[in-house]
Structure 1
Amino acid sequence: MKTFKKVLWVLGILLVLIVLGATFFINSLKPDYSGQKPLKGLSGDVTVYYDSYGIPHIYSEKEEDAFRALGYVHAQDRLWQMELLRRVAKGRLSEVFGPDLLETDKFFLSLGIDENTRKTVKELDMNSRTVMLCNAYLDGINAFIEDGPKPVEFYLTGLDVEPFTIGDIYDAVGYMAFSFAQAHKTDPLLTDIYNDLGQEYLDDMTIYSDASTVWIKNFKDNAVDTVSKDVMSTVSRALKKLPIPQFEGSNSWVLGPNKTKSGKVILANDPHIGFAQPSVWYEAHLSTPTYEKYGYHLAGVPFPLLGHDRNLAYGLTMFQNDDLDFYVEETNASDSTLYKTEKGWEKYEIVKKTILVKDGDPVSFEYKTTRHGPVLNGIAEQVKDQRPIAMSWMYTKWENRVLDALYGISHAQNIEEFKKALPKIHAPGLNVMYGDVKGNVAWWASAQLYQMPDSTSTKFFLDGVSGTQEPVRYLDFSENPSAVNPPWNYVYSANNQPDSIAGMLYPGYYLPENRAKRIVELLEPKDDWDKESVSEMILDVTSSVNPELVRELIKLLDVSHLQQEQLVLIDELRKWDGTYSLDSKSAVLYHRCEYFVLKNTFEDELGKERFEQFLSTHLMKRQIAWGAIMKVGKWWDNVLTPNIKETRNDVVLKSFVDAWISLKTDLGQNTDDWTWEKVHTLEHKHPIGEVESLRKYFNVGPFPIVGTREVINNLAFPYDSTGYYKVNSGPSTRRIIDFSDIENSLSILPTGQSGNPLSEHYDDQAEMFVNGEFRKMMMNKEEIMQKAHSQLDFKPVSEQ
C-alpha cells in the first residue's frame, strides 16, 4: 500500500509539473507589451505606449527608429498573418496546409506576382527613402523572429520562420492587387454564356453601364467558350481554398466645410474586405519630429494604406476598373512551342516551378506564357485539345511603383504633395479619398487606365492573334475620374460607376447603385453633419432599392391562392422600409425569395456549377434589381420544360412558394421565429479554426448581426442553397476623422488588434463591432501617456 501511495504521489507531482510547464510555455507565447528590449540598429531610444485596446503609440527622435519599432510590435501581434500573406504569391501555402492547397499555389505562381517582385527588387534604388524605411521596418520584424517567441500557429503546423525581405512586402501588395480584380470571375462566365447560349441571353443582362443608376460625378478644379469553363472553374477552386481574406468593396465620403456643423472637414471610410481572424488592419500611431501618422497597415507592409494626422486624412475604396483581360491564343499545329501573332510565330516561354508540400513529395509543374501573360489552361489540371487562354494583368505588365506611392501619400503635408504620389498607383485600381484641415475634399480614381479599340469589349475573351484588340493607348493620370472641391461640397465612393470624362466611360465591374443611392440620399439634404451623425450614417442598415423591388414583384402574386399567414407576411413585406434589424421578418422573406428568383431564372440555362459561379460575381448583384423589372426576356423561360413557356409571373410565384416551403423546413412552422438574427450571423474564421476541436480557441463568434449586402453597413454573404446568410465580408474598420476634434476621431476593428490567440487584444473589440460601437483614436501625447495600458521601451543594443 505504501508503495502504491508513493507511485500516486510521484504521478501527481509529474502531472503538476506537466501542467505548470505547459502553462509556463503557453504564457511565454504571449505578446510582450511592457518592459525594456534591446533592438538592433536603433540610433536612440524608442518608447511605445499601448492603449487599452493594444494600439501602439510609437515615439522616437528618428523616423527609421520608429519604423524599426513598428516592425517589431507588428510582428509580435501579427507574425502568423504576415507569414501567410507573403506565402500566397510565392506559391508556398502547401508547405503549411498540405496538398489541399496545391491548386491555389499553382494558380498564384502562374500570375507572376513573385516574378514581378524579383524584377522590381533588382531595379530598386537602395538609397531611396522608401527602401530605407522598408528595410528599417524589416529589421524590426526580423529582430522579433530572432528574439521573440514564435506564435502558437507555428508550433501547431511545425513551420519554421524565415527572415523577411523587401520582396515579401511587394508580394503582399501584389496579392492585394489581385484580390481586387473581378474579371477573373466574370469574363470566363460571360464568354461561356455567349458561346453556349448566344447574344440574346447577354442582351438581357446588365453587363455594361446603366445610365439610369447613381453615378459618381466628376469635377476638376485646376486651382486645386469550353475553354472558359476550365478557366472559370480553375480560378474559382483556387480562390475558394485561400486561407486569407480578399478585398471586396468599400464606402467612403468626405464632407466639405459647407456640409458640417463645425465648418471643418469630416472623412468617413469603411473598406469592405473578407472577414477572417486576425482581421486585416493593424493600427499604429507613429510620432517623430519629422513624421506623424495614425495609420492602418497590411501585414508586412510598413506604410499605412489608411491614415490621418493633424493636417490631412485619407481613405480608400476599390475602383473596380477592368485591369485584367483574357486573350485567346493560337498554337502552331506542327510545333507546339510556337504561338501566333500578327507579326508571325513567337515562342512560348516555359516557366518551371517546384512546390514543397507538407507531409508529401515536392510537386513540379510548368506553364506557358505569351506576350499577354500566363496561359491558364492546365495550371490546375491538364486540358487537352483546347485553345490556350492567356491572362493580361496590368499589375505585372507595368513598372511597379506602388510602395513609392504609399510612401508619398503617407508623408504628404498637403493636397498638392498628396496628389503627386497618386499616378504611381498603376494597380490595383483605388478610389483615393482625401480631406484636410484647410477645407479641401477630393476623390481620385488611381489606376493605369487604357483605351481599347472601338467596339472591343473587355468583358469577353479577346483575340490574341490578330493584334486588333490590343490597347490603343494608355491614359495620362489627368484623364482619370476625379472630383476636387466640387460645388456640391462632398465627395463619395461606393464602388459604383464613375461618370465619363475625356469623352469615354471606363470599363469595370462596378457594384450596383444601392449603397451609392442611399449615401447621396442621406448626404444631400443635410448641411450640419457632425461626428455623431456621421457615425450613425456609417451604421445605416436601410436599403433604398430593395423595398422598391419588393413592391414591384408583389404585384405579380395572385393573392387569391395564398394562405392567411402568407398574406400577413406579404402585407408586412409590402410596408417594409428596407431596414435590416435583428427582429425583421421581412428581411428573411425577401432574401429567401430573391435567392429562388435567381435560381429559377438562371440555373436551368447555366447549370448548377455555372449558376454558383454567377452568384459569386458583381454581375449578379447588378442583375437583381435591373433584371427583376424586365417584363419579358430570354431568361424567364425554363428550358427544362420545353412544352411550357414560363413568364416572369410564373418565376416569381414559384419562387415565393419555394421560399415559403424552405423557410418552414429550416426555421419551423411558427412564422414569428423567422427573424433576421436566426439566419444572419458573423464568425471570424482562423485557418487553424477549420479543425473543429480548435475552433473555439481560434475563431471569434458567431454573432447575430444587423445589416445585409449592399447597404451602407455592408455585412455581405454568399447566396447558396442553405438559406443561411453567413457573413463573409464587410467593414474591415469603420473610421470617422473629424478635423474640428482630431484627437477624438473614432474607429473600430472587427475583432481585435492582435492576431495572437493568447493576447488579451485578440477579440476585445468583437462585440463592440457587432453592436455598432466605436473607440477613440488617441493622438494627444499627454493623454496617451496618462491612459497608457502599458509601456514598452526599445533601447539601442550598444547600451545593453
Structure 2
Amino acid sequence: MRRTGIVRGIGSAVLLAALLFIGARRCGRLPPLGAFLDPHRGVWSVAARAEPVGRQTAGLPGLAGSVEVVFDDRGVPHIFASTLEDAARALGYVVARDRLFQMEFRWRSMAGRLSELVGHDALGFDRRVRALGLAWSAQRDYAALDPHSPVARAIIAYAEGVNAWIDGLSASDVPLEYYLLGARPSPWEPVYSLYMVKLMGWDLSYGGTPDLRRLRLQAKVGAQAARALLPINAPIQQPIQPNGQAEPRFDLTPIPPPGEPDTAAQRWVQELELALGPVRDDAGSPPPRELASNNWAVAASRTAAGYALLAGDPHLELTLPAIWYEAHLVVPGVLDVYGVTIPSLPAVLIGFNRDLAWSFTNTGADVIDYYEEELDDFERPTRYRVDGAWRPLEGRLEVYYGRGGATLATDTLLSTHRGPLTRYRAASDPAGGVDRERALSMRWTLLDGGNGELVAFWNAARAASVAEWLEAMAPFAAPAQNGVVADRNGTIAIRSFGHYPLHADGDGREIRDGRRSTSDWIGFWPVARYPYARDPEQGYLASANQQPIDPRVDSTYLGADWPSPWRAMRINALLAADSSLTPEAMRRLQTDPGNARADFFLPFFLAAVERAASSGALDARAGEAARLLGSWDRRYTKENERAVLFEYAMSELVERTWDELLEERGDDRPPRRVFTPGSMVLASLLHQPGNPWWDDRRTADVVEDRDAILVASLGAALERARAEHGEPDEGGWRWERIRHANIYHLLGLRPLSALALPVQGGPGNLNPSSGSGRHGASWRMVVELGPELRAWSIYPGGQSGHPLSPRYRDRVEKWVAGELDPVLFPRTRSEVAPERVASVLELTPER
C-alpha cells in the first residue's frame, strides 16, 4: 500500500512538472533545466516536504519561552505561547512555512518591485504602484511607530519569525514558484506588514477614478443628466443603520433626458486622462462591481437556542493560495483569538475570541480628492503655491531594477502636502497644439499616515464585550469598513469605521482648486457620527455594501453611486421572516439562491409582453421567452435552466437603454459606453415608461418606449441563448454549465489553479457570481455565541501554498457546495484530541 502511494505521488509530480514547464512560459524565463530538475535541490525536492507530519522541533531566535504549535486535521495552527510577542513570532514562522512565495509576491506588488522577481514585463505595473505612493506612505508610517509599542513589537517579532524560517530553508523547503522563476526568497522586513495594510486599502478604497467617470458622463449628456445617472444617494434605501422602516424605500425621481455634450467637461476628461495615466485603472466604462461582501448579526431573542448569532463572508478576488490564512493564537490570560489573518500581518482580522465575534464588509465611501496645483516651474518644479505663498515640494527618486539587479528605469516623483503629484501637458483645442501645462495632486485617506488599522485589529482581538470592541476599533482609518459584532451577552452592533472627509464647500466630486487652502479637507466625521446601530428593535443587523445611512437621517456627503442593495434587501427579508434562526440556517443563507434583483425586474418584462400581446404586436420570440421565464422560481440554483435567459435579457436591456452613452473610438473597434449606470438607476427608469432614455437612437425610423425595449430585449435574449447553448430543455441552459468560479494561481498558471467550478448564485445574490468568476466569498464564517462558543468556517483554497501539498486546495470542494467545517477551538493543548492532530511543531528559544 505504501509503495503504491509513493509511486502514485511520483507520477503526479512528473505530470505536474511537465504542466508547469508549459504553463510557465508566459511568465518569463525559466531557470536552467539542470537546476530546475535537480533531484536533490530542484523542483523534485519540494514534493518531499509539501506536507509536514509527526512532531518537529526548531530553534527560534528571540523567543522568551517555548511555543507549541499544534496543526489540526484541517491544517490550522493552534499556537500556544507565553507572551504576545512569542505568539506573533511563531505565527510569522508558520505562515512563512506555508505561504512564503505568496508573502513575497504580495509585498513586491505593493512596493512596485515585481520587476526584480519576474522581469521587465512588470515594469509598467511597478511604476504605476510607486506613483500612487503606497509603499512610500507605509515607510513613513513605520518610521513614526513607537518601537516600544505593542503593535511595533508584534510586527518586529513577526518579521523575526519569518526570517527564522527563511534562514533555515533547505532546498526542499523552497516553494515551487521560486524554482519556476529561478529566484530565491528575500529577507523579510517589518515594514512589509504595513505594505499589506496599504495593499488591502488599495483593493478596497481605490475605486478607480470616479471623478473621471463622472466627467466622461457629463461630457456626453450634460451635467443634469449625469447627476441623475450617478446619484449621490441610492434610489432604493435599505441602509446599514436601520431607519425604522420594515421594507425598502424607493426614492424614485424623474431622470432628465440626455442633454447637450458639455465641452468644458470634455476638456477635463482629456486632461485627467493625461494626468492620471500612471494611476488610472479604468479605460472607459468600469467593469461590474465584484466586491460584494455580506455580514449580519442576530439577537438572542430571534434564535432557536437563545444565543446571538453572527455570519460573515467578505467577497474578494479569488486566488491560490487563498488570500486568508486560518490560525488560533493563545497566550494564557491575555489572548485567545481564532480567525483569519492575511499572510504578512501579525493579527487576526476577522474571527472570534471566547466572548465575541466580528466580521467586515467594505463601505465604499468617497475618500479621494484631486487638486489642480500651481507650480513654480513645470519642467523642474521645486515649489507649489497655496494662498499666494510658495511651499516646497517633497521629492523622491525611484529606481527600478530587473532580475539580476540591472537598472530598468528611474522616476522622480513629487508630492504636495495633499499627496502624489502628476504633471501633464494639455491642448486647449483637441485639434490644436500643446499649450497648457497642468499639475494634479491626489489626497487619499490611505496615504494620510498613522497606524490606526493595526492598532485596532491588535486591540479588538482582546475585547470582552461589544462595547470594548467598538472602542478598540475607533482608531481604524482606511479602508472604511462596516464592522458587525456580537457577544455572549446577546448584544449585537454595527458601525461603519473609517475616516470620512469633511469639506468646507462642495462634496469632493469636483476637481478642486489647489491654490486655496479652503479647498482642503477640514477634518473627518467624528466617531460618534459614524453610521451605527446597537441592539435595534428589529433584532438583527446586516450590511452588504449598501449606502450606510439614510440621507433623511444624515444627508452629509459620504459617497456616491452606491452598489445596488439587492443583497441587503434579500438578507433583511430572510432575517425578518425567521424568528428562530439556527447556525445551520445562517449557513444556508450565505449561498441562498433567491434574488431580489430578479424579483424586481422580471415582472416588468412579463407585464410588457402581456401588454404587447393584448395589442396584437407581440414578437413571437419575446412571447416564448416570457413563457419560459414565467415558470422560473427566480432562484439561481446550479441546476436551474432559466437564469441564463434572464441574465441575457438584462444584458440586452442595458445595451438598448444606454445607447446614448456610446462613443466611437476612431478605429476598427466597436463603440464603448463611457459609463454604465447602476441597476438602481435602471430600476428608477422602469417607473418612467415614456422617458426619452428608452428610445434607441440607433433605430432611426421608430421611437421606442419602455415596453418596446423590454420586449425587444426578451426576444434578443432568447435568440442569443439558443445560439450559444441550444434549445431550452436540452441541458445546455443549466446554470452550472454557464457560470463558474475561477480561482487562479498568483502567477496565472492554469495547472496550479482551480477553474470552471460550478457555483450557486448570480448577480445580486448573497453569493454573487461575477462574470469572470474571479471574485467571490473569500471566507465564510458562522458563530454561535453561547456559554461555549461554537463556530463553523471555510474558504476557497487550503492552508498550504505549496501546490504539491494535499492542503493546497483541499477546501475548494466544500466551498463550492456551500458547506462549512466545524472549528476546533481548544483552550489548552490538552483539549486537542489525538485523532485531530496532524502534526506538532515545538519552537524553542535559540540563544
Same fold, TM-score > 0.5, yes or no? yes
Aligned counterparts of 1:323 and 1:796: Cα–Cα separation in 2: 46
Q: In the alignment, which of 633, 638, 650 is matched to residue 582 of structure 1? A: 638
Q: Partners in 1 of 2:816 and 2:479 — Cα distance?
A: 30
Question: Cα 1:229–1:740, aligned 2, differ >3 Å: closer, same or farther?
Answer: same
- Relative to its length, the structure with more helix (as a share) is 1
Alignment-derived partner of residue 253 in structure 2: none
Q: For 1:347-374, what per-residue CA distance to the aligned partner results, in whole angstroms no more than 9, with x for missing partners?
A: 5444431222348751112344333322
Question: Which shows bigger deviation, 580-589 or 741-750?
Answer: 741-750
Q: Which residue in the other structure is 2:213 paired with?
A: 189
Asked whether the 8 Å contact 1:351–1:366 carries over to 2, the reply is yes
Please name the residue that 1:309 is paired with.
353
Query: Within the alignment, does 1:518 sit opposite 2:566 as a pair?
Result: no
User: Is 2:600 the partner of 1:548?
Assistant: yes
Alignment of 1:26 onto 2:46: yes
Q: How does 1:534-573 map to 2 (within 5 A)?
A: 534-557=586-609, 558=612, 567-573=623-629
1:258 deviates by 1.0
Q: Look up the SS of the partner of 2:663 in the other structure.
A: helix
2:88 partner SS: helix
Q: Determine the structure 2 residue equivalent to 1:431.
A: 482
Matches within 5 A, 1:64-463: 64-148=85-169, 149-210=173-234, 212-217=236-241, 225-230=269-274, 235=279, 237=281, 248-289=291-332, 290-331=334-375, 337=381, 339-346=384-391, 348-358=393-403, 361-376=407-422, 385=436, 387-454=438-505, 456-463=506-513
**Distance (Å, rounded) in 2 between the aligned partners of 1:674 and 1:393:** 45
Looking at structure 1, the residues matched to 283 and 105 of structure 2 have their Cα atoms a distance apart, in angstroms, of 14
Q: Is the 8 A contact 1:453 1:471 kept in 2?
A: yes
Secondary structure of 2:496's partner? Answer: strand
1:507-537 residue CA offsets vs partner (Å, 9 max, x unmatched): 2453211011111111113221111111111
Match of 1:745, SS state, is strand
The reply on whether 1:714 has 2:768 as its aligned counterpart is: yes
The within-5 A match list for 1:614-653 is 614=675, 620-633=678-691, 635-638=693-696, 645-653=703-711
Determine the C-alpha separation between the residues in 1 that align with 2:274 and 2:815.
Answer: 40
Q: Is the 8 A contact 1:593 1:659 kept in 2?
A: yes
Q: Would the aligned equivalents of 1:29 and 1:151 in 2 still touch at CA under 8 Å? A: no
Query: Equivalents in 2 of 1:764, 1:599: separation in Å?
Result: 41
Residues in 2 aligned to 1:292 and 1:734: alpha-carbon distance in whole angstroms: 20
Cα distance in 1 for partners of 2:113, 2:486 equals 40
Q: Does 1:37 align with 2:58?
A: yes
CA deviations on 1:592-633 (whole Å, 9 max, x unpaired) are 122222223335534378956746xxx535444334444344
Q: Report the AA paired with residue 569 of structure 1.
A: A
* 8 Å Cα contact 1:31/1:76 also seen in 2: no
State the match for 1:722 in structure 2.
none
1:11 counterpart residue number: none
Question: Could you tell me how far apart the structure 2 residues matched to 1:329 and 1:647 are?
Answer: 47
Distance 1:546 1:229, change over 3 A: farther
The offset of 1:334, in angstroms, is: 8.0
Q: CA deviation at 1:91?
A: 0.7
Aligned to 1:793: 841
1:677 correspondence with 2:740: no
> Could you tell me how far apart the structure 1 residues matched to 2:64 and 2:235 are?
59
Quote the residue 2:661 is aligned against: 605
Letter in 2 for 1:434: V
Q: Could you tell me the TM-score, scaled by structure 1's length?
A: 0.87
Q: 1:461 to 1:593 in 2, by over 3 A?
A: farther
Return 279-288 or 480-489, whichever deviates more: 480-489
One-letter code of the match for 1:194?
Answer: Q
| Equivalent residues of 1:227, 1:389 under 8 A apart | no
In 2, the alpha carbon distance for the partners of 1:98 and 1:216 equals 45
| 2:718 aligned residue | 660
Deviations 1:258-289 (A, max 9, x none): 11122211110001111111111100011221
Secondary structure of the residue that 1:248 maps to in structure 2? Answer: coil
Query: CA 1:689–1:192 in structure 2 vs 1: closer, same or farther (change >3 Å)?
Result: closer
* 1:429 Cα deviation after fit: 0.3
The size of the alignment, in residue pairs, is 755
Say whether the 8 Å CA contact 1:184–1:324 is kept in structure 2. Answer: no
Unaligned 5+ runs, structure 2: 1-33, 245-268, 426-433, 666-670
C-alpha displacement of 1:85: 1.5
Structure 1 residues 649 and 304, CA gap change in structure 2 (3 angstroms): same
RMSD, matched Cα:
3.1
8 A Cα contact 2:621 2:715, kept in partner: no
Specify whether residues 667 and 502 from structure 1 end up closer, same or farther in structure 2 by C-alpha distance, changes over 3 A only: closer
Taking a change above 3 Å as real, the CA distance of residues 387 and 592 of structure 1, as seen in their structure-2 partners, is farther
Q: Deviations over 1:324-364 (max 9, x none)?
A: 12223345688873545333455544443122234875111
Q: Distance in 1 between matches of 2:557 and 2:153?
A: 40
User: Secondary structure of 2:499's match?
Assistant: coil
SS at match of 1:101: helix
Seen in structure 2, the aligned counterparts of structure 1 residues 390 and 645 have a Cα distance that, compared at 3 Å, is: farther
